[in-house]
């Protein structure tokens, strides 16, 4: 069950190094054909690369541990990234902070009551400028189920 | 690189077909992204949750769709990208990425192109609806 007391909860900020090898690995795993990601010393990140922020968050802490979502009933509803200028490049160190922005319920067609959790993550560069923002919608379904038609 | 003058509302992104996707593709993406939810690689876990088998990570097909767009208009030019997940993607699925320009704006010399993007499964179902914005010169 989602713990609704987590609404408004904020992670402690932590740092994330943007690394060339991880960009290459990510670009290949997502089947990009662009040499821009594979060559050069300072490639830009692919648009969804910041999802790998989980490698940098301190283990066992943060808003997701407070939310107590059940993995068997967890679906990913949607994901958005905004970049305020060109996407960050390899060699950049970002400061990352996530907050639980929304928690709401909807009646599902087959899975009972669905709980939606929207988290917003801000990424700042070394000078403190917000260079990217991620918005994620996670859904906990009412019961473990078969093919419900989401992720 | 496709430039401002070549882009019009309705201009289509060259279609890309990927797959059939394998469990190895899922695992490779999980390793690259750090999302180790067992539902995407542990058959017993997936079945205990009521699924017939493991299924793809939504963010894998989202990442494929993002790369499809940035390969066309340039990795440095992307300013926004978003997806809504619809149907799940299963081992053996072939995916088709399509997209088109839906808006073109010029504001204070900043030229922005908006794309509507879709990932379709081989049966015709929509796996993802997405969008992207690019700064274009």
Say if A148 falls within a structural domain: no
3-state secondary structure of B24: helix
Question: Between chains, do A34 and B67 touch, taking CB under 8 Å as contact?
Answer: yes
Residue among B34, B52, B88 minimizing CB distance to A52: B34
ipTM: 0.95
Chain B contact for A17 (CB, 8 A cutoff):
no
Question: Between chains, do B50 and A145 touch, taking CB under 8 Å as contact?
Answer: yes
> Among all residues of chain A, which has the CA nearest to that of B77?
A86
Instruction: Give B101→chain A minimum CA distance, Å.
Output: 18
> Which of A:69-88 have CB within 8 Å of B?
71-87
> Among all residues of chain B, which has the CA nearest to that of A26?
B32
Is B92 within 8 Å of B21 (Cβ atoms)? yes
Residue A147 has a pLDDT of: 45
How many structural domains does chain B have? 1
Q: A108: domain CATH number?
A: 3.10.129.10
Q: B100: domain CATH number?
A: 3.10.129.10
3-state secondary structure of A85: coil
How many structural domains does chain A have? 1
Question: What are the strands of the beta sheet with B126-135, ordered from one edge?
Answer: A14-17, A93-107, A113-124, A130-140, A74-83, B78-85, B126-135, B110-121, B95-107, B16-18
Residue A149 has a pLDDT of: 45
Residue A74 has a pLDDT of: 84
Say if A48 falls within a structural domain: yes
Whole-model pTM: value is 0.91
Residue ranges for chain B with pLDDT beneath 70: 1
Residue A142 has a pLDDT of: 81
Judging contacts by C-beta atoms under 8 Å, the chain B residues touching residue A44 are 75-76
Question: Between chains, do A82 and B79 touch, taking CB under 8 Å as contact?
Answer: yes
- Taking chain A (151 residues) in runs of 10, the rounded mean pLDDT of each run is 86 94 96 90 96 84 80 87 97 96 87 89 97 95 58 50
Residue B113's alpha-carbon distances to B4, B78, B80, B104, in angstroms, are 8, 10, 11, 5
Residue A54 lies in domain:
4-140
CB pairs under 8 A between A and B: 139
Residue A111 has a pLDDT of: 60
Instruction: Give A71→chain B minimum CA distance, Å.
Output: 7
Burial class (CB in 10 A: 0-12, 13-18, 19+), B16: buried
């Amino acid at each position: 069950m989602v713990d609704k007391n987590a609404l408004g909860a904020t992670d402690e900020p932590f740092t994330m190094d943007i690394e060339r090898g991880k960009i290459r690995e990510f670009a290949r795993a997502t089947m990009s054909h662009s040499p821009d990601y594979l060559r050069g010393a300072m490639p830009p990140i692919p648009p969804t690369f910041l999802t790998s922020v989980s490698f940098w968050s301190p283990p066992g802490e943060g808003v997701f541990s407070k939310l107590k979502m059940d993995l068997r009933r967890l679906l990913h509803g949607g994901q958005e990234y905004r970049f305020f200028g060109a996407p960050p490049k390899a060699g950049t160190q970002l400061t990352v902070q996530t907050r639980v922005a929304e928690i709401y319920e909807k009646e599902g067609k087959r899975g009972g009551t669905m709980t939606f959790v929207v988290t917003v993550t801000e990424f700042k560069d070394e000078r403190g400028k917000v260079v990217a923002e991620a918005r994620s919608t996670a859904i906990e379904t009412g019961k473990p189920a078969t093919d419900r038609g989401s992720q | 690189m496709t430039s401002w003058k070549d882009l019009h509302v309705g201009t289509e992104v060259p279609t890309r077909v990927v797959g059939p996707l394998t469990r190895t593709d899922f695992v490779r993406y999980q390793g690259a992204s750090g999302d180790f939810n067992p539902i995407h690689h542990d058959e017993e876990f997936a079945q205990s949750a009521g699924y017939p088998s493991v299924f793809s990570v939504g963010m894998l097909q989202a990442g494929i769709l993002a790369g499809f767009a940035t390969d066309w208009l340039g990795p440095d030019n992307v300013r926004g990208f978003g997806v809504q997940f619809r149907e799940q993607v299963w081992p053996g699925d072939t995916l088709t990425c399509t997209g088109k320009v839906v808006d073109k704006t010029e504001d204070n010399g900043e030229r922005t192109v908006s794309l509507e993007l879709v990932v379709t499964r081989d049966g015709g179902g929509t796996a993802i609806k997405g969008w992207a914005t690019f700064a274009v010169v």
